[in-house]
Structure 1
Amino acid sequence: MLGGGMSGRLFTTLRDREGLAYAVGSFYPTRAGWGRLAVHLGTAPGNLARAEAGIRAEFERLRAEPVPAEELARAKRRLLGSHALDRRTNARQAFYRALYELLGLGHGYGDRYPALVEAVTAEEVQQVARRYLAEPVVAAIAP
């Protein structure tokens, strides 16, 4: 929803609509134990406060409003496409099977992943946003 390339909320709002950034996106690295959602933004120093406010506004929108059905479907397609593309080689497949075992998910988790993604509802997205996007920690690195 947030980062997914040029169709993600952050890109369309902060770059296309507001012109506050030349690069923006988000990522969630897979880790055992705790995790983090990271948003990255390339902006002029004079735009930093407005850009940060825009990120916070998108977090709030995810908490306040269910994701529209078409946006959720688009995000699922993008996620499943990325998942498939990243597993094209035997080496990547072996890497992920080992990672899933290390994370306690079982080596067959990747085979179950598409059905799990398809089962996600707009209400579940909103519940997760309410739980994890309520008090973001912000770090800005500027010249």
Structure 2
Amino acid sequence: MEDANGKPIFKGENIAVSLTDITQSSNDSKIPLAFKDPQIKASNIKIGVNEFYEIHSREVKASKKSLKLLAFRLKPIQNPRNYNSKNIFDFAAGEFTADDFNISQDSLIVSKVYFSEPDLKVTSTGKQTVEKIKTQRRSK
């Protein structure tokens, strides 16, 4: 599955998906697809989060607002100099599970998130942050 610009949104093998109330957004700042009550089974998946990150998983199962991903990884996909942030995150876990997960075009909402064997790597982009200018109040 690809977005309007041909960028992969979801790739995998042995994919079985049942979704209801599907909506698609052309706004790049929003999640490209939203849906309700997903029933998903797939293996060797790759999900395009945005232009900077992908999610990889050996296996995904979703049903009744429960989500499980085996061999989960949030992977940076660009050169560090292209990121507009101080740090880049590369996060992996043996298993990612979540309850009450809901995807809308504005957010991915989950509760009771669990990661087994988490492994976080943070890479600095070397970019400086802009300090906020402190304003002083004038007393009368």
Return the structure number with greater helix share: 1
Q: TM-score, length-normalised on structure 2? A: 0.32
Rg larger for: 2
Q: Which has the higher contact order (CA 8 A, sep 6+)?
A: 1
